[in-house]
C-alpha cells in the first residue's frame, strides 16, 4: 500500500469524533431562528402588537368632539307633581295669583241671584191682634238667560208670594221646620210664575215677625 492510501485510511478511522466546537455553533444558529419564528407567530396572531403599544389604532381612541359644534340644550326635567316644567324663557305661573271665581276648577258657572223688593204683609193670626211679617227674599236662577223672564214675571211673582204669606199663621214660620216649609212653598209658586225660566232656590236675606 502506498503512503497516500495509508494517510486516507488513517483520517477516516471509526474512533475519531467531531469536536465540541461544532455543536456550539449549531446551537447558536438555531436559537435566533427559533426566536424569529416565535416572534412571527405572535405578530401575525395579534398578540405581539398590543404588547408593543401598536395594536390600538383608531378604534382604541374615541373621536375627538368638534371644537365648534353647538351644545345641545338639556331637556326640561319634570316637576314634582308630574307636570312638565316650563320651557326656558317662558313666564312662570304665580302660585299666589287669584284664580277666577265661579267654579273654575270644576268648569261650572257662577250662580245668578235676583233680588226681590221687600214685602210687608199681615199674617193670619186668627185673632184681632195684627201680626206683620217683613220678608226680603232673593231668587237663585238656573241660568243667566232666565233673568229677563223673571223680571217680566215680577208682578205675578210678588202677588203669589204675598197671597201665600197672608194665609200663613205666625206659628207656622217659627223654627227651622217653618223656614224650610216656607222656602219650599215659595219655590214652587216662583217656578209657576216664571215658566219657562227656572228658579233653583229661594233665599231669605231678612225675615222678621212683629
Rounded to the nearest 5 degrees, what angle is found at the Cα of 22, between the Cα atoms of 18 and 23? Answer: 100
User: What DSSP string runs through 141-181?
Assistant: ES-GGGHHHHHHTHHHHHHHHHHHHHT--GGGGSHHHHHHH
Whole-model pTM: value is 0.48
Mean pLDDT lowest for which of 54-58, 103-107, 114-118, 194-198?
Answer: 103-107
Q: Is residue 118's pLDDT more than 80?
A: yes
pLDDT digits (tens, 9 = 90+) for 42-52: 666 767 666 66
d(CA 132, CA 105): 45
All structural domains of the chain, each given as residue ranges with its CATH number in brackets, are 26-54 (no CATH), 112-209 (3.30.479.30)
pLDDT digits (tens, 9 = 90+) for 119-170: 999 999 888 889 999 999 999 999 999 999 999 999 999 999 999 999 999 9
Amino acid at each position: 500500500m502506498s503512503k497516500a492510501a495509508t494517510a486516507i485510511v488513517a483520517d477516516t478511522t471509526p474512533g475519531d469524533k467531531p469536536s465540541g466546537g461544532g455543536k456550539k455553533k449549531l446551537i447558536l444558529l438555531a436559537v435566533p431562528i427559533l426566536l424569529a419564528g416565535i416572534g412571527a407567530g405572535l405578530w401575525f396572531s395579534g398578540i405581539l402588537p398590543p404588547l408593543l403599544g401598536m395594536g390600538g389604532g383608531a378604534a382604541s381612541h374615541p373621536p375627538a368632539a368638534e371644537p365648534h359644534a353647538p351644545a345641545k340644550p338639556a331637556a326640561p326635567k319634570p316637576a314634582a307633581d308630574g307636570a312638565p316644567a316650563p320651557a326656558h324663557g317662558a313666564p312662570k305661573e304665580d302660585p299666589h295669583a287669584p284664580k277666577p271665581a265661579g267654579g273654575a276648577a270644576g268648569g261650572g258657572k257662577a250662580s245668578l241671584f235676583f233680588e226681590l223688593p221687600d214685602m210687608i204683609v199681615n199674617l193670619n193670626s186668627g185673632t184681632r191682634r195684627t201680626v206683620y211679617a217683613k220678608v226680603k227674599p232673593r231668587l237663585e236662577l238656573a241660568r243667566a238667560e232666565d233673568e229677563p223672564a223673571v223680571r217680566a214675571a215680577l208682578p205675578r211673582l210678588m202677588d203669589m208670594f204675598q197671597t201665600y204669606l197672608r194665609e200663613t199663621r205666625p206659628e207656622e214660620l217659627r223654627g227651622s221646620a217653618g223656614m224650610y216649609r216656607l222656602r219650599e212653598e215659595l219655590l214652587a209658586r216662583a217656578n209657576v210664575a216664571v215658566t219657562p225660566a227656572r228658579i233653583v232656590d229661594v233665599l231669605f236675606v231678612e225675615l222678621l215677625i212683629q
